[in-house]
Chains A and B, each alone.
Chain A
Amino acid sequence: MAANTSTGTTAGAASRAASGGAPVSLRELSRSFGTVHALDRLSLDIAPGELVALLGPSGCGKTTALRILAGFETADSGTVTVDGRDMSPVPAAKRDMGMVFQSYSLFPNMSALENVGFGLRMRKLRPADRRGRAGDLLDMVGLAEHARHFPHQLSGGQQQRVALARALAIEPRVLLLDEPLSALDAKVRLQLREQIRSLQQRLGTTTLFVTHDQEEALSMADRVGVMRDGTLEQIAAPDELYNRPATAFVAEFVGTMNRVPGELGTGGQVTALGSTAPVLDGSAVPPPGRVEVLVRPEGLRVDAVAGGNGIVSDRAFRGSVTRVGILLSGDVTVQVDVPSAVAGPLLPGISVQVSLDGSAVLVTPPR
């Protein structure tokens, strides 16, 4: 990728664009639109140079949080500090935050170079310096040869790379990414994901990234905050979020999660599908009795057995694993990941025995 072809000029651009990260702190932010509480006492700290992703369904308040940090919206209550300084009296134009938007936001009347140089122009840089630095940044995102092109002559992915260069050109204290990849097709999205991450790490810019795509959040962020109804459900490193979700909402929003009925004993053991497993440490545990067990597709065992507790309903090959859909009694469907090498016999209609594989699971009161 272009970002890795580090020539002398790109290294120069990188060091100049590196602003070092500023710590960001959101404290008890609340914001209502009419009767809708978009944010409900949201608190979030971002360490210098860290990339935090806010992940959640649409309407969970993640974009509102980002826009308040950017200065486009004001909070009803709560504070935003950057580098220890209260930002509430500072207008958006003076916050030094680079932002990449979901929709294409390049100025249609300016070439790629002029777009990238716009923030520098607003900072009264001399035209020659401006062009030099804008050129370096375009080079950094691998678009040096498109400097003279206008936005309508660039593809969607190229436009977002120019937008990224434009946001970084002002040496922002904080980089804000508002679903910058969601308008792009899958392949471009994947490339740009890597490019954004490697640039962000090289420049050490504190970054807040808003997305509804969990794969994006998990693969790019140092920490992922899962939001729901204006509050943060859990914020943790991607692997912790996946393996040790704090709530059922997080568990089901991040990755695929099966729900099967079970019986919680008193010793922190749960019985389901004729098998037992320990309850995940530190998770909220309901009183003993009837519960629902949350288990990942890789946390279930499946064996082809005549007269088992389920019937294979469908299967999808996914490379090293095959995801098998199984219909259990009581109209419960579960997804199980089986190594493709041994998934051969699990054809639709086959009777199987599904059981917990013994690893720790999350339990929740029945719905």
Chain B
Amino acid sequence: MAAVTGERLAGEAGSAGPATAAAAGRRSFPVWRWAILVLAGVYFLIPLYAALRFAGIASFGQVVKQTGFSDALTLSLRLAVVTTVLTLVLMVPTTIYVHLRLPRLRRLMESITILPIVIPPVVLIVGVLQVAPSYLKGTPYLLGLIYVVLAMPFAYRSLDAGLRALDLRTLVDAANSLGAGWRATLWRVIVPNLRTALLSATVLTVALVLGEFTIASLDLYQTFPVWIVAFDQTSGPVSTAASLLALFVTWVFLMLIVTVGSRRARRTGAGQVDLISVTRRDTSGPRIGES
């Protein structure tokens, strides 16, 4: 496996000369690595520090007392839960089905799932409004439907990478031969081994929902980010404190998901896929006619 990855990496590096040079440079001058790290750190941390200075510690206590704060936060969290559940319920079976039965459609799926990134949000909203059932219109769950579409590229990519890392065909056949129906196969064999992929899909979806502003604001829902911006007009320091709090809450939440999820994965070594980086491992070759 390592050899295969190595070969492929070498192949890719060969076509991209500068990347190879950069990689070699980093290896021979670790000081570069530190410089970049520090630079990136400064780039990210200075605004945070400035915001903290501007808000002042006292503002944090006031944030929670503001009108609309808890409503907005609750709405955002509810949306995060609804979106994540819906996304996983839709994408997990779809991705598994494509991998098992329609492997030739994988490329097509990749292009389809990238569409939400390419299509302007306004078009998406209009599209969802066209097909959404009428009883959802006027409720915040409509926003959830739009978020499901937005989260699709990230969810699909995570799940696809997780499934690639498994020899899905063999695992499914093995479970079948031992008497497991499709439900038991899905719950006891596939899903537990997709833990990391599910986790990364969840994290990305949650992060997306908690941070999305444009569509929520266009649709006139006061989600947490919308509330912060609206509130910003009345009190600068308190709103800044709210932003920092939001950032912190999101961060804690994501760290929680990652720690809880990866502890078991580490123990079993199951489905080790990095959160972001996706190593392509093609274990499921064509079986038909291979004999």
In Å, the complex CA distance between A123 and B271 comes to 27
Evaluate contact between A93 and B170: CB separation under 8 angstroms.
no
Stretch of B34-42, B81-89, B174-182 lying at the A interface: B174-182
- Which of A59, A98, A122, A153 is the one whose CB lies under 8 Å from B289? A59
Min C-beta distance of B282 to chain A, whole Å = 12
Chain B neighbourhood of A60, CB < 8 A: 291
Known: A33-B288, A59-B290, A104-B167. A118 touches B178 (CB 8 A): yes
| Complex Cα gap A224–B4 (Å) | 35
Interface centre among A59, A70, A109, A163 (most CB of B within 10 A): A109
> With A107-B189, A118-B180, A123-B179 given, is the CB distance from A101 to B174 under 8 Å?
yes
Question: A93 and B176: CB pair below 8 A?
Answer: yes
Are the CB atoms of B291 and A108 closer together than 8 Å? Answer: no
> Are A38 and B289 in touch, CB under 8 angstroms?
yes
Instruction: Give the distance in Å from the alpha carbon of A211 to the alpha carbon of B258 in the complex.
Output: 44
Most chain B CB atoms below 10 A, which of A61, A105, A119, A152: A105
Check A317 for interface membership: any CB of B closer than 8 A: no
Assuming the contacts A153-B269, A170-B179, asked whether A107 and B174 have C-beta atoms less than 8 A apart, the reply is yes
Within 8 A of B (CB), among A104-130: 104-110, 118-119, 122-123
Contacting residues, chain B, for A167 (C-beta < 8 A) = 177-178
- Given A60-B291, A109-B268, decide whether A101 and B170 contact each other with a Cβ distance below 8 A: yes
- Taking CB atoms, residues of chain A closer than 8 Å to B219 are none
**B173: CB under 8 A from chain A?**
yes
Cβ-defined contact, B193 with A70, below 8 A: no
CA distance A36 to B170 in the complex (A): 23
Binary interface encoding of chain B residues 254-287 relative to chain A, with 1 for a CB under 8 A from any of its CBs, else 0? 0000000000000111110000000000010001
Residue of A nearest to B285 (CB): A103
Give the shortest distance, in Å, between A253 (CB) and chain B (any CB): 15
Given the interface pairs A59-B290, A103-B283, the reply to whether A70 lies near B269 with Cβ below 8 Å is no
Interface size class of A (residues with CB under 8 A): 35 or more
Is the pair B180, A122 in contact by a Cβ cutoff of 8 Å?
A: yes
Complex: A186 Cα to B181 Cα, angstroms: 36
Q: Does A296 contact B (CB under 8 A)?
A: no
A residues less than 8 Å from B288 (CB atoms): 33
B191 to chain A, nearest CB (A): 9
For the complex, is B184 an interface residue (Cβ under 8 Å from A)? yes
- The smallest C-beta distance from B49 to any residue of chain A, in angstroms, reads 43
Contact A105 to B192, CB < 8 A, known contacts A92-B177, A122-B184, A152-B269: no
Nearest Cβ in chain B — how far from A127, in angstroms? 14
- Interface set of A (CB-CB < 8 Å, partner B): 33-34, 36, 38, 58-64, 70-72, 91-99, 101, 103-110, 118-119, 122-123, 150-153, 163, 166-167, 170, 176
Q: Would you list 24 pairs from A and B whose C-beta atoms are within 8 A, ordered by A residue?
A: A33-B288, A63-B290, A63-B291, A72-B173, A95-B177, A99-B177, A101-B174, A103-B283, A107-B174, A107-B188, A107-B189, A107-B192, A108-B268, A108-B271, A118-B180, A122-B178, A122-B179, A122-B180, A150-B270, A151-B269, A153-B269, A163-B174, A166-B174, A170-B179
